[in-house]
Structure 1
Amino acid sequence: MSVELRTVSESEFPEWLRALRTGFLNEPVVPDELVADRLAHVDLDRTLGAVEGGRVVATFRSFRQRVSTVGGGGLTADAITQVTVAPTHRRRGLLSRLMERDLAAARERGDAVATLIAAEYPIYGRYGFGPASRLTEWSVDLRRAGLDPRRGGPEDGGPEDGGRIDLADGAEIRRIGPDLHRGLAALRAGVTDRGRREWDIGTGLGHQLEPWKEPYYAVYRSASGEPEGFVSYRCDDRWSDAKQPENTLTVRDLIAVTPAAERALWRFVCSVDWVVTVRTGHRPPDDPLPLLLPDPRAARIVSHADMLWLRILDVVRVLEERTYPVADGLVLDVRDAGGFAGGRYRLDASPKGASCAPTTASADLVLDVAELSRLVLGDESAVRLALLGRIEEAVPGAAARAELLFRTPLLPFSPDIF
């Protein structure tokens, strides 16, 4: 039987979900309430399947997304998710055909980039994607950290500048969270937008894939009463045989839009009674937490990996949308086997703005679109890529110039999985 690639209908959607759950090694059972919930929030015109004999053997879905770029701007993205191929149909080119179809549609719509979270690293580079942000998680041993939670002034760990921390509930987080999240996107590249549904699910409303356990919430307010950050966290309940607390506090979400809020929220979660270990959840690799501790060695890295993957579809829009810390001009010869973004482009950039246009001038750097996608949010080093042979310097010193143009004071951060 031949395999047909197409969008799936509403009647086929339960079978599509079954194939999706099979691909991710979940129980291949699709409750009616799951079908109803997902149907209410997916665009079937962007829900693709490979169908053979009435059975879905590959799944692929995309949706509209906004991703922040350097300097606080944003790019319209084709967000790719729920990609699977049945174990009976591997190595038949199904993913390649689905990806080609989706990226062509995204380019036709005018999306500047495509994004995804890669379940496995080696898959997506061949389609022009590159890892554009990373995440780090720390485990903090509070018994070694050196903090003294018994004291409360700014000089020893309390909120600064007259600010305060108040406990809150999910309703308040749904009210203040979206503005704070947009503030985070203005500070760091790589932040993907959160819609109302994401805020609802993240605070216990809507369909939950697992039984909901209500977290704790705390909000930092400045001296004027304005919310500048919040944290959501859960705690376990563990005691030693000697009746000593051995509880772990796990951060689910921490968003701060001022340095004072970020410091205060970290100090707060590190001072909760009975907690001896703090798990930070996914954080940017340059998060200030370890250096807030008198003994930074108390913060042990337990996870460090790639997070958001980016695929440039429109070089001109992507390079013009971000800001640059220095003035320089570079000619980039971009190679793209997919045919979407290849060409030679001249970038003229300065702190006042940037322009980018196709050119016939000689190249300074030659690179694949996947490598440019690594660079554009400021996470990767052009010099390191040149040392690896992934960027070719047509003009000596061009990689160092690109390093100064593309790197950013704050690393990109992508807190959400989609």
Structure 2
Amino acid sequence: MTSRTDIDVRPITEAEFPDWQRALNTGFLMPPAVAAEQLEARRHLFVPGRSIGAFDGERCVATFRSFDQEVTAVGGALVPADAISNVTVSPTHRRRGLLTRMMAQDLAAAKERGDVLATLIAAEYPIYGRYGFGPATTMTEWTVDVPRAGLDARWAAPEDGGRIDLVDGEDVRKLGPELHERLRRAQPGAVSRAELWWQIRTGVLSTDGSPWTEPFYAVYRSAEGEVEGMVSYKADDRWGDAKQPLNTATVQWLLAVTPAAERALWSYLCSIDWVTTVKSGWRSPDDLLPHLLPDPRAARITTQADWLWVRILDVVRALEARTYEGSGSLVLEVEDRAGLSGGRWRLEAGADGASCTPTTESAHLVLDVAELAALWLGDESAVRLAALGRVREIRAGAARVADALLRTSRRPWCPDMF
């Protein structure tokens, strides 16, 4: 067995990208051989210095990639982040500290760049807490039994004077980025989308080398003609024994910046002839969908899980970037075993903004940086974390003060996988 110190962990060169890609496929249990067209397609994701590999001799045995991102804080500020993806360790090289070494390199570089956060979507729950990440948003998927939903079977168009139009990929690339920009500036937990995102989702580029099958795209326009919603969906072709249609429409993504747009798009999806089931895709856990139906029980939760994980790299900038539901002060003792963002801070928050400054005062709450990350977007409760033993109250009632300041009236949501 090769010793840990003999394995070289470093940013890869472009020439090493094919071997890195093979290791990535191996770690994700995909066929390891990478076709030339697949390799060429994935080169669009290569950024010099941001793809790390672990090499045992000449063979890549672990992978790690990061890229620039912005995360919307509570109140709408766009916070610079280090988005982490493509994390694998080959099964022959587990438990040798390779992920720890790759993570340490990447987070140190992100801190040096001035990123406030690091983010990721965790395939497995237990891994990332030890690196200071906390689950900051949750996602929910619903499966709608359309015949049970109680919607008017005669529905043909929005009742508010708006309209729904089917469009193609070129229209999506023209209209989608501006619509998403409006959504993400109002939605805590949303992340930026590069032009590459729209190209991949409309078939201009492929990252897996498979043939492109265009989904259906529909746009909602208000009575004034403004684009306020958009959905991408696909449908299967399934019929019952008595020639009864049993088709499922599966939402790939749905954006809506007004409740009217959301209502209209879900009504449209549930009114498509032959469709008896609608799968919602990744939605916020307090999404309007179930209660837009006359019978909310027709929307059954099929998946509910943690989604966006956050790692705070700069406590001051993170806490000063967001707004707060109330006013008050809190002294936080933040523990960070990696030494990137620990310390004691006084948070003063109010309607005019917040200040976060180092202090020598006695702490009101003691918590790990991962727990602060879980609280930062307003979804988690400090009282709940205290009951779980993951936040320690030094001053009685401090967890309730934290909840009064940090929690939000609507839950944060990240619409994206990355």
> Which TM-score bucket, shorter chain as reference?
over 0.9
Paired residues for 1:126-165 under 5 Å: 126-151=130-155, 158-165=157-164
1:339-395 CA distances to partner (integer Å, 9 max, x unpaired)?
011000111111221111111111111100000000101111111111111111111
- Specify the alignment match of 2:285 in structure 1: 285
1:193-222 CA distances to partner (integer Å, 9 max, x unpaired)?
111111011112112424322111111111
TM-score (norm 2): 0.97
8 Å CA contact 1:315–1:341 kept in 2: the answer is yes
8 Å CA contact 2:232–2:254 kept in 1: the answer is yes
1:142-175 CA distances to partner (integer Å, 9 max, x unpaired)?
11111113045xxxxx524321111111111111
Amino acid at match of 2:408: T
Q: Does 1:206 align with 2:209?
A: no
**CA apart distance, 1:189:** 1.1
2:53 and 2:380 map into 1 onto residues whose CA distance is 34
- Specify the alignment match of 2:123 in structure 1: 119
2:145 and 2:263 map into 1 onto residues whose CA distance is 18
Paired residues for 1:12-411 under 5 Å: 12-151=16-155, 158-209=157-208, 210-411=210-411
SS across alignment from 2:91? coil
1:22-53 CA distances to partner (integer Å, 9 max, x unpaired)?
00000001122232233333112111111111
2:45 and 2:141 map into 1 onto residues whose CA distance is 31
2:201 and 2:37 map into 1 onto residues whose CA distance is 19
8 Å CA contact 1:134–1:308 kept in 2: the answer is yes
1:109-147 CA distances to partner (integer Å, 9 max, x unpaired)?
110000011111000000000011110000010111111
8 Å CA contact 2:81–2:119 kept in 1: the answer is yes
CA change 1:126–1:244 in 2 (3 A) is same
Deviates more, 1:18-27 or 1:232-241: 232-241
1:111 and 1:40 map into 2 onto residues whose CA distance is 23
8 Å CA contact 2:332–2:365 kept in 1: the answer is yes
2:117 and 2:376 map into 1 onto residues whose CA distance is 11
Amino acid at match of 2:353: G
1:124 and 1:288 map into 2 onto residues whose CA distance is 31
**CA apart distance, 1:191:** 0.9
1:351 and 1:202 map into 2 onto residues whose CA distance is 40
2:108 and 2:127 map into 1 onto residues whose CA distance is 19
Amino acid at match of 1:27: P
* Structure 1: gaps spanning 5 or more residues: 153-157
8 Å CA contact 1:4–1:51 kept in 2: the answer is yes
**CA apart distance, 1:311:** 0.1
1:123 and 1:293 map into 2 onto residues whose CA distance is 38
1:207-246 CA distances to partner (integer Å, 9 max, x unpaired)?
2424322111111111110100111111111111101110
**CA apart distance, 1:317:** 0.4
1:228-277 CA distances to partner (integer Å, 9 max, x unpaired)?
01111111111111011101111111100111111111111111111111
2:15 and 2:155 map into 1 onto residues whose CA distance is 62
1:234 and 1:100 map into 2 onto residues whose CA distance is 40
8 Å CA contact 1:72–1:188 kept in 2: the answer is yes
SS across alignment from 2:66? strand
8 Å CA contact 2:136–2:376 kept in 1: the answer is yes
- Specify the alignment match of 1:155 in structure 2: none
1:381 and 1:175 map into 2 onto residues whose CA distance is 40
1:264 and 1:402 map into 2 onto residues whose CA distance is 38
2:164 and 2:141 map into 1 onto residues whose CA distance is 24
**CA apart distance, 1:319:** 0.4
1:211 and 1:403 map into 2 onto residues whose CA distance is 49
8 Å CA contact 1:160–1:260 kept in 2: the answer is no
1:264-319 CA distances to partner (integer Å, 9 max, x unpaired)?
11111111111111100110000011011111111100000111110000000000
1:208 and 1:131 map into 2 onto residues whose CA distance is 27
2:99 and 2:271 map into 1 onto residues whose CA distance is 48
Deviates more, 1:402-411 or 1:112-121: 402-411
8 Å CA contact 2:249–2:279 kept in 1: the answer is yes
SS across alignment from 1:276? strand
**Aligned length in residues:** 413
8 Å CA contact 1:188–1:410 kept in 2: the answer is no
2:191 and 2:112 map into 1 onto residues whose CA distance is 22
* Structure 2: gaps spanning 5 or more residues: none
What is the CA RMSD across the aligned residues, in angstroms?
1.1
Amino acid at match of 1:145: A
8 Å CA contact 2:42–2:207 kept in 1: the answer is no
